[in-house]
Amino acid sequence: MKLLPLFAAIPLFAAGPADFVVWNAEDLRSYEKALHAKLGADHMAYQQIRDYGGHSVLVVHREGTGPAEAHVTIAHIIYVISGEANLVVGGTMVNEKTLAPEQIRGTSVEGGETKKVVAGDIVHIPPKAPHWYKVAPGGQITSLMVNLDSK
């Protein structure tokens, strides 16, 4: 009986799964202009670019200070594509209202920790943590946000 070498018995991996995606820097920067045209009264616009069930990927563009937000089971991992803002995380949300499941909004955040975030920074915001972007007048911030649902 002739034995095959071990590597011959192991199937090779398929090339390129359907959910494998690379978002290059130029593509991400192009969202800034498109989302600028869609700004709402809250000085923000976003576009979901992928939903994987359990986590989704969005590009978010802000051109002013909008409402604070929090999510019970969703954490954010955020990569800042362009611009800058002061990000307040933690503390207490002012005038908190639940708009929908996982959509808790308020007018601002009291207390918390404030950090300046700029292009190239990566941020992790845990579930339940109030967070609020304070964008300087005339400023903007565009980011890639991955929502990780821990349900």
Range of the structural domain that residue 121 is part of? 24-149
Look at the chain and report how many structural domains it folds into. Answer: 1
Residue 1 in domain: no
Residue 124 in domain: yes
pLDDT digits (tens, 9 = 90+) for 18-47: 778 899 999 999 999 999 999 999 999 999
Residue 123 in domain: yes
* CATH number of the domain where residue 94 is located: 2.60.120.10
Residue 35 in domain: yes
pLDDT band at residue 6 using 50, 70 and 90 as cut-offs = very low
Specify which residues 1 forms β-bridges with: none
Q: What's the pTM?
A: 0.85
| Cα–Cα distances in angstroms (integers) from residue 143 to residues 18, 29, 95, 136, 151, in the given order | 24, 9, 26, 16, 24
Residue 14 in domain: no
Residue 7 in domain: no
